[in-house]
A and B are shown apart, each in its own frame.
Chain A
Amino acid sequence: MIGRLLPHPLLVLVLAGMWMVLTRFSLGNLLLGMGIAIFAGWAMHALQPERVPMRSLRVMPRLVGTLFVDIIRSNVMVARLLLTEGRGRRTSAFLLIPVKLRSPTGLAVLAIILTATPGTAWVEYVSETGTLVLHVFHGAESAHYLHVVNNVYGPMLQEIFE
């Protein structure tokens, strides 16, 4: 019953919260926001029949924290490389990474993480072999990115989504 009315409870909560934040905290806005959020939950249900499993949210703060630090660090790195480009020591590289993560949502989040972090660009994911193809701006850092995908973000996303 509750599953039929609220197929995506987390999505509804987040959307209603966002509505309140964007307007004002009042009873009227709570009701309106909830109404819109529940409607959006139905729309989501119609688009995507399977619910996205969220097994564990315990690693979420660690994931966000790691990502925050990584984004700052890679911003500094890419900005410095761009400004010193003339020295010509930088070569970019393609990187093929076998990933264990299989959940489509997990991979989508990994794509957001890798794109939000300057220095890595998602080129493609071959689902038959589970190979992720990245383009890294600073080829010398390849080992670091291999480590980050396989030992840092990969296991965290697996814990959340698989």
Chain B
Amino acid sequence: MSGVETVPMWLSIPIALFVIVGSTLTLIGAWGFLRLSSFYDRLHAPTLATSWGTGGVALASALLASWVQDRPIVHELVICFAVTATVPVTLMLLARASLHRDRMENAAHVPPELLLTRPRPEKPSEVAPSSSEK
């Protein structure tokens, strides 16, 4: 009924390949996430899943859906774009929260030039006008 059985061999090979590549990368990323010892190292592992992990599965899905529905289906590309564009928000939030905590605790595993507090502005009373005021 779904039409999956009509997919020819020449198309099912790349589809299977993309699914395997995508899910393997996601698995490796998840495994690394579990295994790595430092918080900053753990930031890197899930990016395997959000780049080619998502990309591989989405590409396979787009190829299969395009064949079954007999028209180009590119919904998956929108998913890829949305994932790629929003992942930095989460990861930056986590990294900055961690760095803030390390600064509070003067953590030894962070290079000293990162621990220095920022120089205060010369005249704290002169607050720059916010850009929405003009």
Measured CB to CB, the residues of A under 8 A from B are 18, 21-22, 49-50, 71-72, 75, 78-79, 82-83, 85, 92, 94, 96, 111-112, 114-124, 126, 128, 133, 135, 137
Tell which of A71, A94, A123, A124 touches B51, judged by Cβ atoms closer than 8 Å.
Answer: A71
CA distance A71 to B83 in the complex (A): 14
Decide yes or no: A75 and B92 within 8 Å by CB, A82-B32, A92-B40, A119-B44 being known contacts.
no
- In the assembled complex, which residues on chain B have CB atoms less than 8 Å from the CB atom of A126? 118
Q: Is the interface of B mostly helix, strand, loop or mixed?
A: helix
CB-based contact B95/A121 at 8 Å:
yes
CA distance A120 to B87 in the complex (A): 13
CA distance A31 to B96 in the complex (A): 43
- In the assembled complex, which residues on chain A have CB atoms less than 8 Å from the CB atom of B47? 78, 115-119, 121
Least CB distance from B58 to A in Å reads 14
- In the assembled complex, which residues on chain A have CB atoms less than 8 Å from the CB atom of B29? 79, 82
Measured CB to CB, the residues of B under 8 A from A are 25, 28-29, 31-32, 35-36, 38, 40-41, 43-45, 47-48, 50-52, 74-75, 78, 84-85, 87-88, 91-92, 95-96, 99, 110-111, 113-114, 118-119, 131-132
CB-based contact A75/B85 at 8 Å:
no
Tell which of B32, B74, B91, B113 touches A115, judged by Cβ atoms closer than 8 Å.
Answer: B91
CB-based contact B48/A78 at 8 Å:
yes
CB-based contact A117/B114 at 8 Å:
no
Decide yes or no: A123 and B95 within 8 Å by CB, A78-B44, A118-B44, A137-B41 being known contacts.
yes
- In the assembled complex, which residues on chain A have CB atoms less than 8 Å from the CB atom of B43? 121, 135
CA distance A94 to B107 in the complex (A): 14
Tell which of A18, A79, A111, A120 touches B25, judged by Cβ atoms closer than 8 Å.
Answer: A79
12 CB < 8 A contacts A-B: A21-B75, A71-B51, A75-B25, A85-B36, A115-B88, A116-B84, A117-B47, A117-B51, A118-B44, A120-B44, A121-B44, A122-B95
CB-based contact B131/A50 at 8 Å:
yes
Write the chain A residue with the least CB distance to B28: A79
Decide yes or no: A94 and B88 within 8 Å by CB, A75-B25, A75-B52, A79-B48 being known contacts.
no
- In the assembled complex, which residues on chain A have CB atoms less than 8 Å from the CB atom of B41? 92, 137
CB-based contact B99/A75 at 8 Å:
no
CB-based contact B114/A115 at 8 Å:
no
